Amino acid sequence: MKRTGFPLLVASSLLLATLASSATRPHYGGTLHAAVQAAPSSLDPNQPDHFGSRNIFGLIFDTLVVLDDQGRPEPALAASWQAEPGDQRWQFSLRHGVSFQDGTPLTADSVATSLRAVNPSWKVLAAGDTVVIERDAPAPDLPAELALPRNGIVKRESGKTAGTGPFVMSQWEPAKRLTLVARDDYWGGRPFLGSIDIVMGQSLRDQMIAFDLGRAQLIEVAPEQARRAATEGRRIEGSAPAELIALVFARPPQSAEEAKLREALSLSIDRGLLNTVVLQNGGEPAGGLLPNWMTGYGFLFPVEVNMTRAQQERAEVPKAVLWGLDYDRNDALERVLAERIMLSARDAGLRVQLASGASADAKLVRVPLAASDAHIALGEIAKSLGLPQPVFHSSAVDDLYVAESTLLHSQRVIPLLHLRTAWAVSNTVKNWSEGHDGSWRLVNTWLTTERP
Amino acid sequence: MRFRGKLLAVFALTVFVSVAAVAWIISSLARRSFEKINAERTAALVAQFRRDFARQGEEIERRVDAISSGDTALRMGLTLSHGAPDYGTYLNEAKTLADNQQLDFLEFVDSQGTIISSAQWPAKFGYKDASFPGESAPKKAFLKREELPDGAALGVFATGEVRLGDKPLFVIGGRRLDKNFLASLELPAGMRAMFYQNLEGGFSPRLLIDSSGRTQAADPITPLIEEIRRQPRETTRLVHWSSNAADDETIDGIPLTGLDQQLLGILLVADSRQPYVELRQHIRSAALLSGSAGVLLAILLSGWAASRVTRPVEQLAQAARQVAAGDWSAQVAVTSSDELGELAESFNRMTRELIEQRERLVQAERVAAWRELARRLAHELKNPLFPLQLTVENLLRARQQSPEQFEEIFQESSATLLAEIANLKTIISRFSEFSRMPQPHFQPVQVNELVQNVARLFQAQLHAGDRARIECKLELAEAMEPVAADTELLHRALSNLVLNAMDAMPQGGVLSLRTRQEEGRACIEVSDTGVGLTPEECERVFTPYYTSKTHGTGLGLAIVQSVISDHGGRISVRSEAGRGTTFMVELPCNADKLPAAGEGGSSSGSTT
């Protein structure tokens, strides 16, 4: 009994250890099934609606530079870079041994061609293994700008695109389905996932059904639904606040009285209540345009409701104009927010009614943060909201604060909330990670064989 | 209008009036019947609406009860009993449950009316529902105004209650009273339902909807809605949507009130009058057709009736005209034994009696004429005979005288006898002349010229010194057409009238001769200013041998009348006592009595 018991014990121990290590040890192969709302009609990152598709493009295309969670640039296709004094001329040295998915090597010419196609105003030159970029004005944030998905390096031939990313397109049904296969020759090392199957154009409800049925292992979850989804036992992964919801007026205030009324409206909105009740803590109250994690000074912008002061501001104006408030009729979250804003405004003595189209004076908008870099993100927000482009004299935080404050003081925009990006991830997905901006990082993710 | 035309008009009018009366009666009956049916249909629809309303209410009550007894309400009630609920937890609960139960409205509120979760306005959590009826909420469904983000709406509501502690949870669910509700009403053909949501202070056309959505043209219906808004009671109006009567509708407005009896909506049940208009058009078409046929039939009937009724009348009229023209022998055929037959028989009898009376009169006149003639002859002959008798007696006595004396007496007596015999001859010739009055020989005669000749002829006698002076005045019309007449006879007749006038004015006076043209006839007037004639004399003045004078044969005016009558004319007398007498002669133109060209060559120059 003793002679047979020990080997059994050893064998059992080895089996358990093997099983345990299989769950934690990286595992090559397998297909990750994902579903997204975005439905790009082409695989070119240079397209207007690239925010929703950036995770897809990030799997196929690399950029010269990537940003870490603190928004600092790190080498990617560019092994190093340096700027000449004045930050107008930058020189990027390319990484060696990088090839496109069609096997052709990455060259300075192909990089220059790709960047020139996206940024016609830039002067991009190829010089050996280096790419020189000359800007008309000082561009201290050029590396961060090059980290934007739209600046992914693309080889465009005969209407087809090829990148240097970790995955290569295997099957493509525009706006419907995309199947990607891991590249063995990826310069950063072969991904653990064997392939990724992405179903596009799926509503959040359909994604959740597919997830619960086990047909998808990675889906998007609305931030206001994340808490409930987690309560119901799903694995929810969330990013830092990476999307802004704001109330944007179509025009600047026409008088001091209107500016006062806009101030009263901002004061009457209980952002905290919106976050806790409507968003189910799926975000943060926003006093500024950029989230606090990005700038560090976000707390300086007040978010507390002050109905008394709002009523006082309103009382100082003889007659309140009637504002028409527009929102995306297909967005349930925006609808609730708009209706709540209308109630708050009514409590403050303001006149707000729901409107649509050209008759609206203000509109609820959702703007994803384009980058982890605050300067880039603020510029993209201003661009998306139709506000004047912020002017930065340096990359210092003070300069950023002044620029953001200037935008807020224009009273064209009232920030409301910063939303997190949430994903429901199957338990079979291991080593999941995402950027602060909600971008996927699937290179080091693998799948286990256990059933979800 | 002739009798036949009148008969046709009476027939046509009778038929037309009859058809019109029948059409009007049928149309009136149809209208009353239609309105009665309309009222019954409207009442049925209203009853159906109330049943549907009640059924919808019961359905809503069941669904609200199901929600009230569900897990969500239970959890919410438990949470509420432990304190303030987490609004975020229940933010979408009401919406989800409302969708599941197919409700348009659903709210969970606490005893204070604070909204915990709202389906129709999810963002309203934490606010108080101003229209929450509270503990006094009725168990049955009721109509309520509900505030929504984009305005207000009306709905049928029911309430439920979850009481797990001392803090009850109320469930208020309902369905919107909108076009879908109207569409759910099973309306008979030709009827439709509209609904006015009384959500604003004044009338607003956009609040008037029908089962297909917004009602575009609300103007015609506005007065009805305004009236019910002022005084909420069931009211019916005839509404004209266009100039086409087929578009008219009878609309019954039924006020719908809420818990506080405030007017919340007006159900408008419209019944098309198109079937009635079509029926009325059919009646009119049928009436027009039958009326036309009736008028045609009236024409045929009047023609037939004319042959049966008016022909005897026309024959009577023709016979009467013959009698009036002097043909008293006219007779009509008696074709029936009815009143017309009796009339014809009477007419025939009348003409026969007229002829008999005329013959008797002629006979009497003839006797009287002979008597008058005898009297006149006796008188005329007696005057010469008496001297003859005396002369012969004187001769007989003279034989006893001396021959010389006898010779002298004989000579004287012979002269006397011859004179008296001559006188007798004259008398006899006059009578002979009257009996031999010649027939006129027609020639064209200028009347004015003839009158002037007569006046000229008597000019010397009028101014004779042995009698009082008579002035002759000629008043002749300028444009006198020639007449066909016998110049000699007419001259003689006028001369007699002038002589008669001169005899009437022994003391002198004025003799007037006038001519004038009158409707194709030539008129000649001879007037004197004598003492005039009595009416009796006027009647007998043309009778032969009648005279009012102490001398004369009484044949002058009879000869004048005979001459005028032979010319187809007529003579009349007008006299006024003390002012004189006027004889009026009317002569036809007698163009047809002129000899044809070449026949009358011998008459030239006969107008003298």
Q: Given this model, what pLDDT does residue A49 score?
A: 62
Q: Give the Å distances, CA to CA, from A4 to A10, A11, A14, A15, A18.
A: 10, 11, 16, 17, 21
In chain B, residues with a C-beta closer than 8 Å to the C-beta of A340 are 123-124
CA of A336, closest CA in chain B: separation in Å? 5
pLDDT-based confidence at residue B603 (cuts at 50, 70, 90): very low
Q: What is the mean pLDDT of chain B?
A: 83
pLDDT-based confidence at residue B354 (cuts at 50, 70, 90): confident
Q: Given this model, what pLDDT does residue B420 score?
A: 83
Q: Given this model, what pLDDT does residue B552 score?
A: 67
DSSP annotation string for B456-523: HHTHHHHT-TTS--EEEEEE--SS---EEE-HHHHHHHHHHHHHHHHHH-TT-EEEEEEEEEETTEEE
Residue among A276, A337, A353 minimizing CB distance to B88: A276
Q: Which CATH fold topology does A241-420 show?
A: Dipeptide-binding Protein; domain 3 (3.10.105)
**Domain boundaries, given as residue ranges, for chain A:** 27-61+165-217+426-452, 66-159, 241-420
CB contact under 8 A, B88 and A280: yes
Residue with structure tokens 């009366």?
B21
Q: Which of A357-361, A402-406, B130-134, B370-374 has the highest mean pLDDT?
A: A402-406
In chain B, residues with a C-beta closer than 8 Å to the C-beta of A333 are none
Q: Given this model, what pLDDT does residue B602 score?
A: 37
Residue of chain B with shortest Cα separation from A231: B89
- Please calculate the CA angle A126-A132-A136 and round it to the nearest 5 degrees: 130
CATH top-level class for B69-177? Answer: alpha beta
CA of B121, closest CA in chain A: separation in Å? 7
CB contact under 8 A, B91 and A337: no
What is the CATH architecture of A27-61+165-217+426-452?
3-Layer(aba) Sandwich (3.40)
In this structure, the number of other CB atoms found within 10 A of the CB of residue A418 comes to 31
Q: Which of residues 116-155 of B touch A (CB under 8 A)?
A: 121-127, 149-150
Residue among A276, A338, A343 minimizing CB distance to B127: A343
CB contact under 8 A, A278 and B91: yes
Distance of alpha carbon A42 from alpha carbon A390, whole angstroms: 32
* Inter-residue contact B266 to B255 (CB < 8 Å): yes
Q: Given this model, what pLDDT does residue A146 score?
A: 93
CB contact under 8 A, B125 and A339: no
Two tokens, residue A272:
């905290």
Two tokens, residue A261:
């009324």
Q: Which of A100-104, B336-340, B428-432 has the lowest mean pLDDT?
A: B428-432
Report yes or no: A339 at the B interface, CB cutoff 8 Å.
yes
Q: Is the pLDDT of residue B608 over 50?
A: no
Q: Which CATH fold topology does B178-272 show?
A: Beta-Lactamase (3.30.450)
DSSP annotation string for B139-160: SS-EEEEEEETTEEEEEEEEEE
Q: Assess if CATH 3.40.50.10860 describes domain B443-596.
A: no
CB contact under 8 A, A280 and B91: yes
DSSP annotation string for B398-437: HTTS-HHHHHHHHHHHHHHHHHHHHHHHHHHHHHHHHHTP
In chain A, residues with a C-beta closer than 8 Å to the C-beta of B126 are 273
Residue of chain A with shortest Cα separation from B127: A343
In this structure, the number of other CB atoms found within 10 A of the CB of residue B437 comes to 14
CB contact under 8 A, B123 and A337: yes
CA of B123, closest CA in chain A: separation in Å? 5
CB contact under 8 A, B121 and A339: yes
Q: Is the pLDDT of residue A331 over 60?
A: yes
pLDDT tens across B168-216, in order? Answer: 889 999 988 888 877 877 777 778 888 888 888 888 888 888 887 766 5
DSSP annotation string for B528-584: --SS---HHHHHHTTSTT--SSSSS-S-HHHHHHHHHHHTT-EEEEEEETTTEEEEE
CA of B261, closest CA in chain A: separation in Å? 28
In chain B, residues with a C-beta closer than 8 Å to the C-beta of A343 are 123-124, 127
CB contact under 8 A, A343 and B150: no
Q: Given this model, what pLDDT does residue A259 score?
A: 93
Q: Which residues contact A27 (CB under 8 A, 6 or more apart)?
A: A192, A430, A446, A447, A448, A449
Q: Is the pLDDT of residue B53 over 70?
A: yes
CB contact under 8 A, A339 and B87: no
pLDDT-based confidence at residue A452 (cuts at 50, 70, 90): very low
Higher pLDDT, B335 or B482: B482
Q: Is the pLDDT of residue A11 over 60?
A: no
CA of A316, closest CA in chain B: separation in Å? 26
Higher pLDDT, B302 or A265: A265
Q: Reduce the DSSP state of residue B50 to 3 states and report it.
A: helix
Q: Find which of A277, A322, A354 to mutate to test the B interface (most B CBs within 10 Å of its CB).
A: A277
Distance of alpha carbon A324 from alpha carbon A321, whole angstroms: 10
* Inter-residue contact A259 to A414 (CB < 8 Å): no
CA of A262, closest CA in chain B: separation in Å? 20
CB contact under 8 A, A277 and B121: no
Distance of alpha carbon B495 from alpha carbon B25, whole angstroms: 80
Residue among A277, A339, A340 minimizing CB distance to B88: A277
Please state the three-class secondary structure of B8-49 as a single string. Answer: HHHHHHHHHHHHHHHHHHHHHHHHHHHHHHHHHHHHHHHHHH
CB contact under 8 A, B149 and A336: no
Q: Find which of B90, B93, B107, B150 to mutate to test the A interface (most A CBs within 10 Å of its CB).
A: B150
Q: Which of residues 66-95 of B touch A (CB under 8 A)?
A: 86-88, 91
> Residue B321: what are its φ and ψ, rounded to 5°?
-65, -35
pLDDT-based confidence at residue A8 (cuts at 50, 70, 90): low
Reference B485, options B382, B345, B558, B589; nearest CA is B589
In chain A, residues with a C-beta closer than 8 Å to the C-beta of B148 are none
Q: Which residues pair with A216 in a beta bridge?
A: none
Q: Given this model, what pLDDT does residue A370 score?
A: 85
CB contact under 8 A, A277 and B124: no
In chain B, residues with a C-beta closer than 8 Å to the C-beta of A336 are 91, 122-123
In chain B, residues with a C-beta closer than 8 Å to the C-beta of A339 are 121-124, 149
Q: Is ipTM beyond 0.90?
A: no
Q: Which of A60-64, B106-110, B191-195 has the lowest mean pLDDT?
A: B191-195
CATH superfamily for A66-159 is: Dipeptide-binding Protein; Domain 1 (3.90.76.10)
Pairs across A and B, CB distance < 8 A:
35
As a whole-number percent, the residues of chain B with pLDDT over 70 amount to 94
Q: Which CATH fold topology does B332-436 show?
A: Helix Hairpins (1.10.287)
In this structure, the number of other CB atoms found within 10 A of the CB of residue B291 comes to 20
Q: Given this model, what pLDDT does residue B604 score?
A: 34
CB contact under 8 A, A280 and B150: no
Two tokens, residue B226:
């305004």
Q: What is the mean pLDDT of residues B458-469?
A: 82
* Inter-residue contact B94 to B121 (CB < 8 Å): no
Residue of chain B with shortest Cα separation from A347: B127
CB contact under 8 A, A280 and B121: no
pLDDT-based confidence at residue B19 (cuts at 50, 70, 90): confident
